[in-house]
Amino acid sequence: MYERFMKRAIELAKKGLGRVNPNPPVGAVVVKEGRIISEGFHPYFGGPHAERVAIESAKRKGEDLTGTTLVVTLEPCDHHGKTPPCTDLIIESGIKKVVIGMRDPNPVSGSGVEKLKKHGIEVVEGVLEEEVKKLCEFFITYVTENRPFIALKYASTLDGKIADAEGNSKWITQDLRHKAHEMRNVYSAVLVGARTVLKDDPRLTCRLKGGRNPTRVILDRRGILSGGSYRVFEDNARVIVFTENKEAKYPVHVEKVLNDCSVGGILKVLYEKGVDSVLVEGGSEVLGEFLEYADVVFAFYSTKVFGEGLDVFSGYRSSVSDPPRFRIVRSEHTDTELFLEMRPCSRG
């Protein structure tokens, strides 16, 4: 019976995607006599929580909250973080029932559910839980595995090439390019290798109207970008460069990380820097390095054939007996392009 309210709360939560990281996106609605009387969502990192926004909005309208139901995607927090605990606010408001999608997986959040129950508030749990988990997957991975959520994105021909025999690669796919920008609008960071920067000089920004730019993470093991001027170094977004080269020099606003440049080493630093999600965009060798770490793979295929050319996962090697396997969770196509969203078949 709470599904339709939870659906609305999820919709609201999504407005915070890409803005609240490494917090989870959260949405909430206050329901009175079967009708939504106010709504709220967590708008940006450090901003007010969804519950507070919804409750205060109702109060501003002069609504009496006594006996109402609060439907919120995530268990309300019971700790003093950047904002006071939502539990206290709920208890004071007169709300008599709280419906949540999932418990807060973050060990530091405290148990909001227990606190509410102790104060005589009925709590209904697990409404549209799978959808809420999907919504919060960056956050769940970040706080339970202490690493960013990892997506791989590639655009290849039917025969798995990301460049032709001459090394030309731009605009392999076009119709579905907007999806790539939607991803950049939501992922906290985009990661590419130094050779991609040298070759394509990409901006790695989000070109959607109203979009926000992700942090750019560059893997420049040997420091080949040292001293150079590239679009990814422009100061319209945060830049983090990983290198093994002590001498490497980058513009002053670039965060240089001296590191072994292993996938594990990179993920550890990104976690510490508050990056909850990384979209690995290439090139070929970088995709190969991150393949076995991927939580999701976004594959764009253009219905072209290059034959000889650069492999999408060059340098990577598995065998027919035990290759990485994925399951297709979404597939869309136009006349000449195909998009697949895939998840690993088995993961610890």
Residues of the shown chain interacting with its own copies in the complex, contacts defined by CB under 8 A:
156-161, 163-166, 168-170, 172, 288, 291, 299, 302-308, 311-321, 323-328, 331, 333-336, 338, 340, 342, 345
Residue 184 marked ligand-binding: yes
Residue 77 marked ligand-binding: yes
Residue 57 marked ligand-binding: no
Residue 173 marked ligand-binding: no
d(CA 70, CA 136): 19
Biggest alpha carbon distance in the chain?
70
> Which residues have C-beta within 8 Å of that of residue 113, sequence separation ≥ 6?
75, 100, 103, 123, 125
Give min distance, CB of 253 to its own copies, in A: 35
Catalytic residue among 3, 11, 39, 51: 51
Neighbouring C-beta atoms of residue 294, cutoff 10 Å: 21
Residue carrying the six token digits 């606010």: 89
Residue 49 marked ligand-binding: yes
Give min distance, CB of 167 to its own copies, in A: 9
Candidates 262, 332, 276; CA nearest to 299 is 332
Could you tell me the CA-to-CA distances from 217 to 239, 265, 273, 340 in Å, in that order?
A: 6, 13, 12, 24
Give min distance, CB of 187 to its own copies, in A: 21
Residue 172 identity (one-letter amino acid): I
Nearer to its own copies, 122 or 166 (CB): 166
Residue 222 marked ligand-binding: no
Nearer to its own copies, 252 or 345 (CB): 345
DSSP H stretches of helix in 15-85: 50-60
Candidates 160, 165, 232; CA nearest to 194 is 232
Nearer to its own copies, 47 or 160 (CB): 160
SS3 89: helix
Give min distance, CB of 130 to its own copies, in A: 17
Residue 147 marked ligand-binding: no
Nearer to its own copies, 88 or 311 (CB): 311
DSSP code of 260? -
Nearer to its own copies, 115 or 161 (CB): 161
DSSP code of 40? E
Q: Parallel, antiparallel, or unpaired for β 69-74 and 27-32? A: antiparallel
Is residue 244 part of the annotated active site? The answer reads no
DSSP code of 144? H
DSSP code of 250? -
d(CA 121, CA 185): 38
Give min distance, CB of 335 to its own copies, in A: 4
Residue carrying the six token digits 């999932």: 102
d(CA 228, CA 249): 9
Residue 200 marked ligand-binding: yes
Give min distance, CB of 176 to its own copies, in A: 12
Nearer to its own copies, 233 or 316 (CB): 316
d(CA 156, CA 177): 13
- Which residues are documented as binding site for substrate? 184, 204, 207, 281
- Which residues are documented as binding site for Zn(2+)? 49, 77, 86
Active-site positions?
A: 51
- Which residues are documented as binding site for NADP(+)? 155, 169, 171, 196, 200
